[in-house]
Structure 1
Amino acid sequence: MEIERRVGAAGRIELWGYEWDLTEKPAKKTGRKFLGYEKPVQDQAPVVREAICWSYGRTLGNIAVSSEDLLGLFPGKEGDDAQLDCDIVEAGKWRNGANRWWCRTHQRHWGTKGDVAGAEASGRVQCTNHDQEMSYVVDPEHVNIQEFAEVGIWCSMPPALTHLGPSKPRRPKIHVHIRQKPGEEKVVDRDFKALSLHYNANDNLFGNAEITKVHLTPPSALEFVLALESGKTMGCINCRDCGYPHLDLGDFARKPHAKHLCGNCGRDNTWSKEPIASTPLKPLHDQFSRANNYVDVEKEINLDDYPGQAFQVWASTPAVLWTAERPQERGIHVHVYKDKAYDVDDTFGVVRYQGKVLDRAQLLEAMVAATIN
């Protein structure tokens, strides 16, 4: 079966499948069947409301996943159980010359014989990941970076150690500190599931003045922080076809490469000058992090001095975004609780527990191992 595109009512692109009747001279198209609609690569109208959605375990993604059409499909304000319609756009051709499409929602190509047969049977153009459950936040928190004196954003991972032993595994979150003025109390100090980060249009981070925000999801934050910590080569490459910034996740984020598959249009014609892991967080981090240097903390604490008190311990990690003028602290962060309030909330260079000095590298390994992604 072959597929052709037609302009239908209101200018929508229709996808029709057909066969060739070779008994006719000349051959004629036969058995035409309507398969569904193709969607434009670029959204045609501004989105007043928005939803950020993503899937764990991917190797690439588009952190600016938002669509007016999807808002009514989410079962709640946020969750991990959304099943969303496919968002199919034209993506060039397969190696055999057949037309190829890309599902932006589920990050999957469409157009094989099996895909076409499935569309014939169901009357719907769906990729093979169409029933995949997605994580989502509807109307996410917005942070305008330049409205505050200090904005700090980290990937929140499970503690490496607690008074009860190793931490229970969980998915990553996004932790945010915001201060109106340097040195003042934080006006925001909590975890979020996803964020929309805004900046001034004249900063033009991606070569496109219309892009003035970056959607931050836990998988993208995790990969970025791990790359910063390990010193992997990162950059941000824009798709040569649709212009969207490219995001690598999973294995692609941990193994720099030169050829990049676009999560927005599904084309793989974009090459970087050198092997990199691409993420839109890189230009954001470089532009607005005023103090991308670190100071090793020298303070010490002995957790054995707090018998019977609950505690949590993390290895400090680089910030996704750090707009304060002072350097970031590198060490081991400790919470000790008393009567459900903080008795200790600070970063230390030396932490002792049960007579031993804790190792920051080992703590970080434990945090990553307990992070489900």
Structure 2
Amino acid sequence: MATPLTLPGICWPLHASTGHLAVTTSHITGHFRAGRGQDAIVLCDLLPAGKFRNGAARHWCRTHQCYWGTQADLADQQAGQPMRCRQHASPMGYVLYPDLFDPMQFHAATLRLGTDGLLQLRARADDGGALFSRDLPALAIDCRALPGLFPPDVVQLNVTPPAAQAFAAALQADAPLGCSDCARCGHPHLDLGSFALAPHRRHSCGHCGHDASHSPMAIVSTPLWRLRDLPQRITQCF
């Protein structure tokens, strides 16, 4: 296989119950056939994540949102393969060179999910009031100008199709929404799929893999909820 490329981009698993939106780098590394699609092979990003219930050490893959350290994983490594999670070859959704939106340069911004599945971003520039209008498959929101909204190591919030769809579905179902932060690393938790329709208190972290954080009450958690804390900049978010 060709050498993997490291490029500015957003990627997401096609099937997952958690996600990783508040990222500490704007780049992804993998194999890409085009500027966007659902066929990327993205390299694992593994980090220590405590132990399994049987006491065996485990790692968390931020890329594919799953643990490494099972007997099958160890056998794969002992056979000479690089350390990689069980989903390492799974195709992923991706967008390269995504639009980077800085909310602090605009006002009256609205972000909606269109019927075609695209994100509809509309905003007025602070300088001159020009209309900023984009229909996008995914969006990166610059967090460096938003102190206090997320941990200081977060550089951008990636609004992916699964995250947007889950948020819209939870709103439509009138589920109790919020944003639960990881008790270990402080990063925000994201519920996807059926978890976005079933409020719960225990949340697993897509950033570090810690699986024992609890919200005060049962909620559907998404970092997109925090964008509503910027009413002077973002007047509507879904």
Q: Which residue of 1 aligns with 2:3?
A: none
Q: What is the alpha-carbon root mean square deviation over aligned residues?
A: 2.6
TM-score calculated relative to the size of structure 2: 0.86
Deviations 1:17-51 (A, max 9, x none): xxxxxxxxxxxxxxxxxxxxxxxxxxxxxxx9631
User: Are the structure 2 counterparts of residues 111 and 199 from structure 1 closer, same or farther at C-alpha, using a change threshold of 3 Å?
Assistant: closer
Name the SS for the 2:123 alignment partner: strand
Say if 2:178 is the partner of 1:235: yes
Deviation, 1:121, is 1.6
1:180/1:232 CA distance change after superposition, 3 Å: same
Which residue number in structure 1 is paired with residue 102 of structure 2?
Answer: 144
Counterpart CA distance in 2 for 1:66 and 1:141 is 17
Between 1 and 2, higher relative CO (CA 8 Å, sep ≥ 6) is seen in: 2
Partner of 2:111: 153
**Cα deviation 1:119-156 (Å, max 9, x = unaligned):** 11242112111111011112210111121232111112
Q: Work out whether residues 53 and 65 of structure 1, in 8 Å CA contact, stay in contact via their aligned partners in 2.
A: no
Give the counterpart letter for 2:78 in structure 1. E
Determine whether 1:204 maps to 2:148. Answer: yes
Whichever residue aligns with residue 233 of structure 1, its letter is P
State yes or no: 1:93 paired with 2:51. yes
For residues 194 and 215 of structure 1, what CA distance do their matches in structure 2 show?
Answer: 7
Change (3 A) 1:128 1:212: closer
Matched pairs, number: 231
1:77 aligns to what?
A: 35
1:251 partnered with 2:209: no
Specify the code of the residue in structure 2 equivalent to 1:230.
Answer: A
Aligned position for 1:222: 165
Answer whether contact 1:204 1:211 (CA < 8 A) is retained: no
Which residue of structure 2 aligns with residue 334 of structure 1? none
Distance between the aligned counterparts of 1:148 and 1:244, measured in 2?
26
DSSP 3-state at the match of 2:230: helix
Matched, 1:191 2:135: yes
Larger radius of gyration: 1
Alignment of 1:113-192 (within 5 A): 113-158=71-116, 172-180=117-125, 186-188=131-133, 190-192=134-136
Q: How much has 1:251 moved relative to structure 2?
A: 1.1
| C-alpha distance in 1 between matches for 2:25 and 2:106 | 29
TM-score by length of 1: 0.56
Matches within 5 A, 1:24-39: none
Deviation at 1:115, TM superposition (A): 1.2
- Cα contact 2:26–2:155 (8 A) shared by 1: no
The structural deviation recorded for 1:69 is 7.1
Could you say if the C-alpha distance between residues 245 and 201 of structure 1 is closer, same or farther in structure 2, counting changes exceeding 3 Å? same
CA offsets per residue over residues 247-290 of structure 1, 9 Å max, x none? 11011111011111111111212111111111111111233367
Q: Which amino acid counterpart does residue 201 of structure 2 have in structure 1?
A: A
- 1:221-271: per-residue Cα shift (whole Å, max 9, x none)? 111122223321111111111221111101111101111111111121211
> Relative to structure 1, is the Cα distance of residues 187 and 87 closer, same or farther in structure 2, using a 3 angstrom cutoff?
closer
**Equivalent-residue separation in structure 1 for 2:62 and 2:203 (angstroms):** 15
Structure 1 vs Structure 2: percent identity of aligned residues? Answer: 37
State the partner residue of 1:11: none
Q: Which runs of 5+ in 2 are unaligned?
A: 1-5
Q: Which residue of 1 aligns with 2:224?
A: 281
Give 1:195's aligned amino acid.
L
Where does structure 1 lack aligned partners over 5 or more consecutive residues? 1-47, 159-171, 293-318, 322-373
- Aligned: 1:106 with 2:64: yes
State the alpha-carbon separation in 2 of the partners of residues 141 and 254 from structure 1. Answer: 29
Kept after mapping to 1: 8 A contact 2:30/2:42: no
Distance change >3 Å, CA 249–CA 289, structure 1 → 2: farther
- Over 3 Å counting, the alpha-carbon distance change for 1:253 and 1:218 in structure 2 is same
Aligned residues of 1:52 and 1:66 also touching (Cα < 8 A) = no
